[in-house]
């Protein structure tokens, strides 16, 4: 029997360390502040605001599904947007399964079933999180001065990260990589036809990047509404809150071992905002927002399933 490779063992250990560390931090924060959290009260107006926050977050997920169809169009795939939005929304909740990759796998399978090549489907699910990360870094950089004092080095690191993320998606960089990968695959597989059209980008995906900025903006609105249901918000706090949410959401996206960013987003938001807002409010808002976001994802998947069945019967 083949022994597990050291790299695989290290990755698995890292995932458990990250998960354990975030859960410990959240448990300690709740233990130290549970009395204050228990005093948080949501009135009728607050519940109405939470309902609106759920609707805005639902709209964000629908918008993200539409942006994914833009990515596929950039890869020259003839698609029907409504059909692929259904695939996106129905697979989205699979990100909470262990491994945090099953939503990507579901999209690749769904796209292939609809006639998209395997290469284009795979590249689309690789480009989407890169575009999301790029959008989040743009927002974080714009709000870094309100998020961190004396943050020259941090901003420089963020700018470097943004340049790497945006640079990788440039056709002059991405297309040679794709060409090399395809040639490598042809050498390893005798069943692959040499005449297969290569997957490539003709232009930089500016429109999908702008679309992901819109997605992140809607997610921010949902978070701010959730906070507003518990605590009044001043206008001067908005840059700080938007930057903090975007940074927390970004870490939840990129840190391994956290399905759907579960735990990482909450721990980062608490650590970032605990000295700016009442700790009990922050603990409560990240917990409630997780419920709001998950409910919105379930609603989106349900609506997509209903629309798919309706389309099949027409």
Q: Stretch 142-159: mean pLDDT, rounded?
A: 72
- Specify the DSSP element, H or E, that contains 27: helix 6-38
Q: Between residues 312 and 171, which one has the greater pLDDT?
A: 171
Q: Stretch 125-144: mean pLDDT, rounded?
A: 91
Q: What is the mean pLDDT of the chain?
A: 83
**Can you give the pLDDT at residue 292?**
92
Q: How confident is the model at residue 118 (pLDDT cuts 50, 70, 90)?
A: confident
**What is the three-class DSSP state of 257?**
coil
Per-residue DSSP letters for 90-157? Answer: HHHGGGGSTTS-HHHHHHHHHHHHTT--HHHHHHHHHHHHHHHHHHHHHHHHHTHHHHSTT-HHHHHH
Q: How confident is the model at residue 143 (pLDDT cuts 50, 70, 90)?
A: confident
Q: Stretch 116-121: mean pLDDT, rounded?
A: 87
Tokens standing for 223? 């978070």
Residue 139 contacts by C-beta under 8 Å, 6 or more apart in sequence?
213, 216, 220, 242, 243, 246
> Is pLDDT of 96 > 80?
yes
Q: Stretch 208-230: mean pLDDT, rounded?
A: 96
> Is pLDDT of 274 > 50?
yes
Tokens standing for 305? 């399933």
**Can you give the pLDDT at residue 220?**
96
Query: CA-CA distances (angstroms) from residue 45 to 180, 195, 303, 313?
Result: 57, 62, 27, 41
Q: Stretch 166-174: mean pLDDT, rounded?
A: 91
Q: Which of 7-16, 67-76, 278-287 has the lowest mean pLDDT?
A: 7-16
Q: How confident is the model at residue 1 (pLDDT cuts 50, 70, 90)?
A: very low
**Can you give the pLDDT at residue 175?**
87
Name the residue among 117, 304, 75 with its Cα closest to residue 202.
75
**Can you give the pLDDT at residue 53?**
96
Tokens standing for 156? 């420089």
Q: Stretch 88-102: mean pLDDT, rounded?
A: 87
Name the residue among 61, 105, 91, 130 with its Cα closest to residue 300.
61
Q: How confident is the model at residue 195 (pLDDT cuts 50, 70, 90)?
A: very low
Q: What is the pTM of this model?
A: 0.86
Name the residue among 51, 13, 33 with its Cα closest to residue 284.
33
> Is pLDDT of 193 > 60?
no
Q: Stretch 248-259: mean pLDDT, rounded?
A: 84
Tokens standing for 182? 């395809």
Q: How confident is the model at residue 107 (pLDDT cuts 50, 70, 90)?
A: very high
Q: How confident is the model at residue 275 (pLDDT cuts 50, 70, 90)?
A: confident
Name the residue among 203, 238, 213 with its Cα closest to residue 224.
238
How many CB atoms neighbour CB 164 within 10 A?
13
Residue 46 contacts by C-beta under 8 Å, 6 or more apart in sequence?
229, 230
**Can you give the pLDDT at residue 16?**
56
């Amino acid at each position: 029997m083949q022994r597990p490779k050291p790299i695989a063992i290290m990755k698995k250990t890292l995932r458990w360390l990250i998960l354990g560390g975030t859960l410990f931090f959240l448990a300690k924060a709740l233990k130290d502040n549970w009395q204050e959290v228990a005093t948080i009260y949501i009135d009728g107006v607050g519940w109405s605001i939470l309902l609106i926050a759920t609707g805005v977050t639902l709209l964000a997920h629908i918008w993200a599904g539409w942006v994914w169809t833009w990515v596929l169009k950039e890869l020259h795939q003839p698609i029907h947007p409504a059909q692929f939005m259904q695939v996106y929304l129905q697979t989205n909740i699979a990100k909470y399964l262990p491994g945090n990759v099953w939503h990507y796998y579901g999209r690749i399978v769904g796209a292939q079933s609809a006639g998209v090549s395997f290469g284009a489907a795979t590249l689309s699910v690789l480009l989407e999180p890169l575009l999301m990360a790029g959008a989040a870094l743009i927002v974080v950089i714009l709000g870094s001065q309100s998020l961190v004092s004396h943050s020259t080095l941090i901003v420089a690191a963020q700018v470097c990260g943004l340049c790497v993320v945006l640079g990788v998606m440039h056709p002059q960089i991405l297309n040679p990589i794709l060409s090399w990968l395809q040639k490598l695959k042809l050498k390893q597989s005798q069943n692959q036809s040499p005449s297969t059209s290569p997957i490539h980008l003709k232009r930089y995906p500016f429109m999908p990047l702008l679309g992901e900025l819109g997605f992140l903006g809607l997610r921010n609105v949902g978070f701010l509404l959730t906070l507003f249901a518990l605590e009044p918000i001043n206008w001067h706090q908005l840059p700080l809150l938007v930057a903090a949410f975007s940074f927390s959401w970004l870490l939840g996206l990129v840190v391994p071992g956290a399905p759907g960013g579960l735990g990482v987003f909450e721990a980062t938001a608490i650590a970032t905002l605990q000295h700016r807002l009442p700790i009990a409010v922050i603990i409560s808002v990240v917990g409630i927002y997780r419920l709001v976001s998950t409910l919105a994802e379930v609603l989106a998947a349900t609506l997509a399933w209903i629309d798919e069945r309706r389309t099949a019967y027409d």
